[in-house]
Amino acid sequence: MRHTGIRLLAMSAFVLGLSPAFADQGGVSLKKLSRSEIPEMQVEDASADSDREGSRELFRTALLRQIPECKRLPSHFVVAGSKIARERWCEGTARWFLKELDAGLGLKEIFAKARLQLDWYRSTGKPDTGEVQFTGYFFPVHRAKETPDAVYRYPVYAAPSDLRKPYFTRAQIEGEGVLRGRGLELGYLDNPVDPFILQVQGSGALLFEDGQGGVTRRIVNYSNENGRPYTSLGRKMREAGIPEEFINLQGIRKYFVELHPEQWTQFAYQNESFVFFKQEDKGPYGSSGAILTPLHSVAVDPRQFPLGMVGLIRTERPDAVEGDQALSWKSFARFVVAQDTGGAILGPGRVDVFWGEGQYAEVAAGRTDRTGELYFMVVPAKKR
């Protein structure tokens, strides 16, 4: 399966050095709600294309991308103590929403109808607080060159033919150049941090000048990894006393590219893990097999919640953004589809939102660390 979901850690989780303390909760990750327990919410329903608000068309896209992949998923899943067939949680629920979208209803109207007609479940969240922690990831885009020069000399690698587990470490690959000269370079970037971030995100795009004033865009998706242990860069930075302002996506790039490039290998090589890529025409792919949809695809722990489930999240997102800073935050509720996983997305108290690409997506991915609520909806079982 092609996927970003095996990416080693979602960006914010990797940056914050989060602990996988909320692993398998033994199947009690969802509580079924009565009609009176389903809260009223103002669901996002952007009237035009937006890089930050959910919309009918983007939600439709996420549903349409998921339906063909439902057959890849387990035939049943235990939800709140009851075995539910894949046809209900995945295809059946997605088609219910598509029918309402095709009828011309807005997302706020669909929410009102869903409250009455669907079975609702709420994540039990973290064991200590009951809250769900939301982080984010994005689709990085970098200028690249096909051949190295004095500036563009940091490669993005395809998987080698002799890959085994465990394989060479990050220090051996990047520092000693053990793969150099084997024709595995998919492109070269102009700093060592961006290839690292690309590996954490699991996919991205490389932009190459075509020699005629234009640019060729090539998508690279996760292919494989070296089987070495992952060490959190954020945790190591914090242990070294680096100011907290630098322990986020934007801060890491500033610290190691602009301020202290001489310290990069000291920290990066402590993480032995390394991800390989392959060039493809489409992507990014989630663990469910579906191409991810900005704003409406989320990563969850598949031991707690079945992939392909339609959900609703309520938390906060950056509102006013300036440069790489989130100046203010706004509460929101949005329909989503569980289509991905991540190494740090463990337990019922963790969700990673896929923000897409662009400046806002990068800021949201790097700055989001908010609590909130996670709900899932399933079409009722047919009465016999």
pLDDT tens-digit readout, 128-148? 999 999 999 999 999 999 999
pLDDT exceeds cutoff 90 at 16: no
User: How confident is the model over 267-291, as pLDDT tens digits?
Assistant: 999 999 999 999 999 999 999 999 9
Percent of the chain past pLDDT 90, that is, above it, reads 87
Q: Three-state SS for 264?
A: helix
pLDDT exceeds cutoff 70 at 247: yes
- Report, as an integer, the average pLDDT of 303-322: 96
- Report, as an integer, the average pLDDT of 308-329: 95
pLDDT at 10: 40
Burial class (CB in 10 A: 0-12, 13-18, 19+), 48: exposed
Instruction: Write the CB contacts of 183 (distance below 8 Å, at least 6 apart in sequence).
Output: none
pLDDT exceeds cutoff 80 at 100: yes
pLDDT exceeds cutoff 50 at 3: no
For the chain, the average pLDDT equals 91
Flag the least confident range among 102-106, 331-335, 344-348.
344-348
Percent of the chain past pLDDT 70, that is, above it, reads 93
pLDDT exceeds cutoff 60 at 234: yes
The amino acid at residue 279 is Q
Rounded-to-integer distance, Cα 349 and Cα 29, Å = 9
| 374 token code pair | 């996670």
3-state secondary structure 234-253: HHHHHHCCCCHHHCCHHHHH
Is 187:146 a contact under the CB 8 Å cutoff? Answer: yes
User: How confident is the model over 73-92, as pLDDT tens digits?
Assistant: 999 999 999 999 999 999 99
Q: HSE (CB half, 13 Å, CA atoms) of 282?
A: 10
Query: What angle do the packed helices 93-102 and 107-117 form, to 10 degrees?
Result: 140
Strands (E), the chain: 30-32, 76-79, 82-85, 119-123, 132-137, 141-143, 154-157, 185-189, 203-209, 215-225, 275-280, 297-299, 310-318, 321-322, 325-326, 329-340, 350-354, 370-378
User: How confident is the model over 193-225, as pLDDT tens digits?
Assistant: 999 999 999 999 999 998 888 999 999 999 999
